Amino acid sequence: MAGVIARRARKQRVFRWTVLTVLGVFFVLPLIAMVEFSTRDSTTWPALVDWPELSERYPALAEGITSSLSQAALTALLMLFLLVPTAVWVRLRLPRLRRVIEFLCLLPLTIPAIVLVVGLAPVYAWVTYFFGGSSLTLVFAYTILVLPYAYRAIDAGLSAIDVRTLAEAARSLGAGWGTVMWRVVLPNIRSAVLSAAFLTVALVLGEFTIASLLNRTNLQVAINFLGKSSATMSVAVSLTALLLAFVLLLLLSLLGGRRRSATAVAPAAPAAPAASVASKEPAA
Under the rule (CB under 8 A), what is the footprint of other proteins?
161-162, 165-166, 168-176, 179, 183-184, 187-188, 263-264
Query: Is the separation of the CB atoms in 134 and 63 below 8 Å?
Result: no
CB-based contacts of 116, cutoff 8 Å, min separation 6:
108, 141, 144, 145, 210
150: how many CB neighbours lie within 10 A of its CB?
Answer: 31
C-beta of 155 vs 281, nearer to other proteins: 155
- Nearest approach, Cβ of residue 175 and other proteins (Å): 6
Burial class (CB in 10 A: 0-12, 13-18, 19+), 4: exposed
Name residue 118's amino acid.
V
C-beta of 125 vs 265, nearer to other proteins: 265
Using left for φ > 0, alpha for ψ between -120 and 50, and beta otherwise, residue 132 falls in left
Query: Is the separation of the CB atoms in 223 and 61 below 8 Å?
Result: yes
246: how many CB neighbours lie within 10 A of its CB?
Answer: 14
- Nearest approach, Cβ of residue 168 and other proteins (Å): 5
Query: Is the separation of the CB atoms in 127 and 234 below 8 Å?
Result: no
Query: Is the separation of the CB atoms in 117 and 78 below 8 Å?
Result: no
